[in-house]
């Protein structure tokens, strides 16, 4: 096991991480996009992005795109490389505001968090479409870990914290239990060659209807490329 530092809230840090990783000339068979913040007060990343959107979504969008070539080189016909992105059931109530992705008009911690998690599902579906179109031996899936007892809840109201403290043993998953679906997506033989899936409790299930809007997927992808400063190679793919 080797640790390489990467701050998903910093585009510079992500690019430096990718450079260090590539310098090792290692294959990359599994990428799990798992970093996140939840319900933080209104604030920005060092690049000026609203923190939920910048860290939860754009950081993973840039990291995945910069590592795509390595993933494609590592996957084979019988053993695809796998990209697993962790979203949340909150995406079901999320709304994507393409004209205000930074939540500048009216900031709501809940709304911003839900939007970032919806963006991750839209991104995964568009990514799988592009990988399939290019004949790449890489799959992309999105995971809902469920309600997990972690420090992700440190910004919720004190009443919610109290309820969580009292009921966590009954209603919340342990971190190990919360990781199980991500691990399933990463290593299960049953998921070999399967992409574009939304997984919950190690089963394929249906995501929010809006997540299947291919035009919205395309528009978000194009706008995301502009925001992180990479070329939009998908423009040639319908």
Contact (Cβ atoms closer than 8 angstroms) between residue 114 and residue 94? yes
Q: What pLDDT shows up at residue 155?
A: 47
- Answer yes or no: is 23 within a domain: yes
- Answer yes or no: is 49 within a domain: yes
pLDDT band at 187 (very low <50, low <70, confident <90, very high): very high
Specify the number of domains making up the chain: 1
The secondary structure element, H or E, covering residue 133 is: helix 109-133
pLDDT per residue over 140-155, tens digit each?
Answer: 999 988 654 455 444 4
- Answer yes or no: is 45 within a domain: yes
Q: Which residues are catalytic?
A: 113
Task: Report the CATH number that the domain containing residue 179 is assigned in CATH.
Answer: 3.40.50.720
Contact (Cβ atoms closer than 8 angstroms) between residue 69 and residue 138? no
- Answer yes or no: is 133 within a domain: yes
Average pLDDT value for residue range 194-221: 96
Cα–Cα distance measured from residue 140 to residue 126, given in angstroms and rounded to the nearest whole number = 9
- Answer yes or no: is 33 within a domain: yes
pLDDT per residue over 75-122, tens digit each?
Answer: 999 999 999 999 998 999 999 999 999 888 889 988 999 999 999 999
What's the domain range around 22? 11-236
């Amino acid at each position: 096991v080797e640790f390489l530092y990467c701050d998903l809230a910093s585009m510079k840090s992500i690019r430096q991480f990718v450079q260090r990783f590539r310098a090792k000339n290692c294959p990359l068979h599994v990428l799990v996009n798992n970093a996140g913040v939840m319900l933080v007060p209104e604030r920005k990343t060092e690049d000026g992005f609203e923190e939920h959107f910048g860290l939860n979504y754009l950081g993973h969008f840039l990291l995945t795109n910069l590592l795509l070539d390595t993933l494609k080189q590592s996957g084979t016909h019988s053993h695809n490389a796998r990209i697993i992105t962790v979203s949340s059931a909150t995406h079901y109530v999320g709304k994507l505001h393409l004209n205000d992705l930074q939540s500048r008009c009216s900031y709501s911690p809940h709304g911003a968090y839900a939007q970032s998690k919806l963006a991750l599902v839209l991104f995964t579906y568009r990514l799988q479409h592009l990988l399939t179109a290019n004949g790449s031996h890489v799959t992309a899936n999105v995971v809902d870990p469920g309600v997990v007892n972690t420090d992700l809840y440190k910004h919720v109201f004190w009443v919610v914290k109290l309820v969580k403290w009292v009921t966590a043993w009954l209603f919340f998953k342990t971190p190990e239990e919360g990781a199980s679906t991500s691990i399933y997506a990463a290593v299960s033989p049953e998921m070999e060659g399967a992409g574009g899936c939304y997984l919950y409790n190690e089963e394929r299930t249906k995501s929010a209807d809006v997540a299947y809007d291919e035009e919205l997927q395309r528009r978000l992808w194009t706008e995301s490329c502009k925001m992180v400063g990479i070329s939009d190679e998908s423009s040639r793919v319908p």
